[in-house]
């Protein structure tokens, strides 16, 4: 994208008072698509500036969540600064927030107050359980949300029964999922705003986002096909699939049909031990002893294989086997290189950074990291003068 090519959301102004990963990620998605996102930070800076991991004293989390944004500092407890926020909102199209209702009420940012003062404004709020939840549920953390939504109990699968439930990949998984929905609803509401001149309130519940993304394992229980129980394996997909150590890392195998089994046997060269299993054992004889026997034999074979060549060969053969990639593997992944997923950009503290990009490619208005996350108050004078 050249400087002369407007981005997809160019011309739209979004004010972000959000201070958690969910709201900040929603703002990042809009900013990366070209909206002017003005981040309103408290004196001392947003809490995410103090969250690790750190590089050269700077938060990598903040650097990721706030690309292409502007930063102003306002103390919303002070009448003068609160009035300045209203002036910013008067020229904006949307407001992104993720605070509890009590905070919004005390700062004049409740649904009612914002709608009265700024009827032509899209007002999006992301909270753990949505508006109207009890006060003690509005301050939940991601680990609470992802457990309440059901994901943590079987993610990752095959967790040893003596270990507590985990919340899956990353401490902010539920925030990122909710941020996607918040950005989507905000964009749809801004389209309506452009057509009708009317704003609206968008209430995002992080737990309901989890339920909306419900997977087939939980679906089976809700449909009555499987009874929920205290057995951790009741939440797995069944079969002998799990993660296995290979020569240079790990692979994950998923196998439930005779076609999977026949293809895997051929891939392994039909070793003698496979003859002890029925051809249809995965469908009609998938007992705990058989699963244990398979894993014991397969573990020795897969341990001698390298994860990228063997998983590529497996997929070509019709076996659902994938490499378990580490963070260091991803920038070197052939497909991500082909897709140009990681974008190189300069950061004032980190230097050249490979930023994770978007999962979509737009021919006329590609997503681009135009500016790094702003220094605290970097755009104070320019932004506030324009609003005065």
Strands 243-246 and 58-59, sheet pairing: unpaired
Q: Using DSSP, state whether 208 is helix, strand or coil.
A: helix
CA distances to 39, 175, 250, 294, 295 from 306, rounded to whole Å, are 46, 34, 9, 20, 18
Neighbours of 344 (CB within 10 A): 10
Q: How far apart are CA 348 and CA 56, in angstroms?
A: 11
Strand ranges inside the chain, DSSP E: 13-16, 36-41, 54-55, 58-59, 69-73, 94-97, 122-127, 200-205, 243-246, 249-254, 320-323, 342-347, 351-356
Rounded to 10°, the helix 173-196/21-32 angle is 50
Q: Using DSSP, state whether 273 is helix, strand or coil.
A: helix
Question: Would the pLDDT of 57 be above 90?
Answer: yes
Q: What is the pLDDT of residues 179-208, one digit of tens each?
A: 999 999 999 999 999 999 999 999 999 999
Q: What is the pLDDT of residues 58-90, one digit of tens each?
A: 999 999 999 999 999 999 999 999 999 999 999
Look up the CATH architecture of domain 13-212+343-348+360-387: 3-Layer(aba) Sandwich (3.40)
Q: What confidence score (pLDDT) does residue 2 get? A: 45
Q: Which CATH class is domain 239-330?
A: alpha beta
Q: How far apart are CA 153 and CA 147, in angstroms?
A: 7
Cα 35–41–43 angle (5° rounding)? 160
Q: What is the pLDDT of residues 97-117, one digit of tens each?
A: 999 999 999 999 999 999 999
Q: What is the pLDDT of residues 349-385, one digit of tens each?
A: 999 999 999 999 999 999 999 999 999 999 999 998 9
pTM value is 0.89
Q: What confidence score (pLDDT) does residue 1 get? A: 41
Contact 210, 148 (CB under 8 A): yes
User: Structure tokens of 297?
Assistant: 């034999």
Contact 93, 121 (CB under 8 A): yes
> What are the boundaries of each domain within the chain?
13-212+343-348+360-387, 239-330
């Amino acid at each position: 994208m050249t400087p002369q090519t407007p981005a997809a959301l160019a011309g739209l102004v979004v004010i972000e008072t959000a201070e958690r990963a969910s709201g900040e990620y929603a703002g990042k998605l809009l900013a990366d698509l070209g909206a002017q996102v003005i981040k309103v930070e408290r004196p001392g800076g947003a809490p995410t500036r103090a969250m690790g991991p750190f590089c050269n004293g700077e938060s990598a989390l903040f650097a990721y969540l706030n690309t292409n944004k502007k930063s102003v500092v306002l103390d919303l407890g002070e009448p003068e600064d609160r009035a300045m926020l209203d002036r910013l909102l008067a020229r904006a199209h949307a407001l992104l927030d993720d605070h509890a209702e009590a905070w919004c009420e005390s700062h004049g940012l409740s649904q009612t107050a914002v709608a009265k003062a700024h009827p032509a404004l899209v007002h999006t709020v992301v909270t753990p359980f949505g508006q109207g939840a009890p006060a003690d549920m509005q301050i939940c953390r991601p680990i609470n949300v992802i457990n309440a939504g059901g994901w943590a109990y079987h993610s990752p699968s095959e967790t040893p029964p003596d270990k507590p439930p985990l919340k899956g990949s990353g401490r902010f998984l539920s925030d990122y999922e909710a941020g996607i929905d918040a950005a989507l609803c905000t964009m749809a509401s801004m389209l309506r705003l452009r057509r009708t001149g009317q704003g609206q309130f968008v209430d995002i519940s992080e737990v309901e986002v989890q339920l909306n993304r419900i997977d087939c394992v939980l679906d089976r229980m809700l449909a009555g096909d499987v009874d929920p129980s205290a057995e951790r394996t009741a939440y797995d997909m069944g079969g002998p699939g799990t993660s296995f150590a290979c020569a240079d890392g790990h692979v994950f195998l998923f196998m439930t049909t005779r076609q999977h089994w026949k293809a895997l046997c051929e891939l392994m060269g039909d070793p003698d031990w496979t003859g002890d299993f029925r051809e249809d054992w995965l469908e009609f004889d998938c007992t705990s002893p058989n699963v244990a026997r398979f894993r014991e034999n397969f573990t020795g074979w897969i341990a001698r294989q390298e994860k990228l060549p063997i998983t590529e060969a497996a997929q070509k053969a019709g076996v659902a086997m994938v490499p378990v990639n580490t963070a260091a593997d991803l920038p070197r992944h052939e497909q991500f290189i082909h897709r140009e997923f990681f974008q190189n950009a300069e950061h004032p503290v980190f230097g050249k950074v490979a930023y994770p990009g978007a999962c979509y490619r737009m021919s006329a208005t590609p997503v681009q990291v135009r500016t790094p996350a702003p220094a605290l108050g970097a755009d104070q004078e320019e932004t506030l003068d324009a609003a005065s």
